[in-house]
Structure 1
């Protein structure tokens, strides 16, 4: 590991863990910098780094992910006796100290060093054929970032889908994508030093952060720009119209389904009827739209 130095081993969310990351970026944060994370926006990440917003709360999904890490890693080890699988800590790049990585496991054999990332998923959507590099884009950026930090060539990704579908993937380091990550990360860190707040975007994490920034309510009036007022009113009206259209379309799909379970078009699932709670009748749930995730270099 001559390319990186070991910073330490920290409990996720602890004060020392936060201190080690305050002026650096880890693999799970790079996707947010690029606007690719489903959990964190550039805006929310910036405010957390500045100390203006609280750290993200621990969720059941996050806790179960941590609890299942060990058995999934153990399954990988049993399937790959050629590797020595060991825990590790947090590492910082010697060339770019602001680039840090905390891989789930380090792998070593007589001929190779690699890393292992362990994941869980509710469904196979966004996951391609096992053995390929077709993983969700936010996990791809994490793997590439950690490979680049440690100057390793391959990241193995072991994922348990729906509690019983174990799969493996592999992501290889390449300069075209990691160059995009490095540049975006450095630019983001520069905005922290310049106190240059990112623009508000449509991400749920951004809305949640703005709400948390002003927890008190003062009984005063605030004049806002007419263009902002008009944009808000138009968005509210469009949202109402979209909800009405969705409700009608859902009713039409339910009517076409009758007592059927899944609505399909040319073999592709469009929606599924799910049981209601208590005495409630079944409701309609849309199926995820399948798409091929872009490479980091294209998305950037």
Structure 2
């Protein structure tokens, strides 16, 4: 079995079944991810570690129930646009290796287990007549606005949801190493290596199978505090009926307590902003031991607004 690169050159494929080259966000891409399948970008949600999906939102998607539509955010758009550039940088750093587009795959035996790695890694051919040997690993390309969760370049310290993703990809394709190239803050290039761990892969597979069983049996996950869960609940009702719905007293108590806590937090924030602004006076910035805390903007000689500095600002 073989695949081809963008020029039609044949590359021997790893152990797995190729589905095709699908563009994220397209109808074909969505179709390959629907139904009772679990993809590499979904497995972190299954184990409750995804920053983008919750078990609740993913359960509804797999059950064929309404979910919020896919949104092409600026972060996703620019991640897609920069993927080729970051992959080329990785090839520049590894001149003896070749990274070819991978496409979408499923496991040879577990049809429900899917993955769309960014690149397959081969040893570069010595001449135009030589066909590369079987893929030796995967290349995953990432962009990130800040590097708090990323360790030193050359380590295997990376955000846990990405570790879940690449472990799943290796399990699907039968490969044992993933190289990760990441561009942080638009200028900080780093590389990481994750080796296949059969115990981790088995934990993820077992969790995925239990999750799919819950979908088949209609066992909905509990409602949690994830934004994705709330957005999923929002799209469930269809229409509006003018009627009252009785809810439990305990839930009303939690509602009242949560809104009281929110009001207090809002008042506390307003107070601390006032104290900071009072100390700044006619200055521009508030700092503490070299860390920039906040800055003020001025219109007509008076304070217009007070803005906090972000982690990226202090890292720059």
Same topology, TM > 0.5 = yes
Q: Is the 8 A contact 1:84 1:107 kept in 2?
A: yes
Instruction: Compute the displacement of 1:20 (Å).
Output: 2.1
Match of 1:218 among 231, 238, 241: 241
CA 1:159 to 1:94, structure 2 compared with 1: closer, same or farther past 3 Å?
same
TM-score (norm 1): 0.86
Question: What secondary structure, in the 3-state scheme, does the structure 2 residue paired with 1:81 have?
Answer: coil
CA distance in 2, matches of 1:274, 1:90: 49
Number of residue-to-residue matches in the alignment: 287
CA 1:274 to 1:77, structure 2 compared with 1: closer, same or farther past 3 Å?
farther
Aligned to 2:225: 202
TM-score (norm 2): 0.82
Q: Is the 8 A contact 1:160 1:166 kept in 2?
A: yes
Is 1:39 aligned to 2:52, yes or no?
yes
Aligned to 1:283: 306
Q: Is the 8 A contact 1:41 1:206 kept in 2?
A: yes
CA distance in 2, matches of 1:240, 1:286: 24
Question: What secondary structure, in the 3-state scheme, does the structure 2 residue paired with 1:166 have?
Answer: strand
Q: Give 5+ residue unaligned stretches, structure 1.
A: 290-300
Match of 1:106 among 120, 143, 149: 120
CA 1:280 to 1:219, structure 2 compared with 1: closer, same or farther past 3 Å?
farther
User: Residue by residue, what CA displacement relative to the aligned partner does 1:12-65 show, whole Å, maximum 9, x if unpaired?
Assistant: 233332232222111111111111111111111111222212442221211111
Instruction: Compute the displacement of 1:255 (Å).
Output: 4.5
Match of 1:90 among 104, 108, 126: 104
Match of 1:170 among 193, 196, 208: 193
Instruction: Compute the displacement of 1:287 (Å).
Output: 4.7
CA distance in 2, matches of 1:232, 1:35: 24
Aligned to 2:24: 12
Once the two structures are superposed, the pairs formed by residues 224-235 of structure 1 within 5 Å of their partners are: 224-235=247-258
Q: Provide the aligned C-alpha RMSD in A.
A: 2.6
CA distance in 1, matches of 2:277, 2:177: 47
Q: Give 5+ residue unaligned stretches, structure 2.
A: 1-12, 124-132
Match of 1:29 among 17, 25, 42: 42
Question: What secondary structure, in the 3-state scheme, does the structure 2 residue paired with 1:213 have?
Answer: coil
Instruction: Compute the displacement of 1:284 (Å).
Output: 3.6
Match of 2:206 among 172, 175, 183: 183
Aligned to 2:91: 77
CA distance in 2, matches of 1:147, 1:262: 48
Is 1:127 aligned to 2:150, yes or no?
yes
CA distance in 2, matches of 1:201, 1:245: 26
Larger gyration radius, structure 1 or structure 2: 2
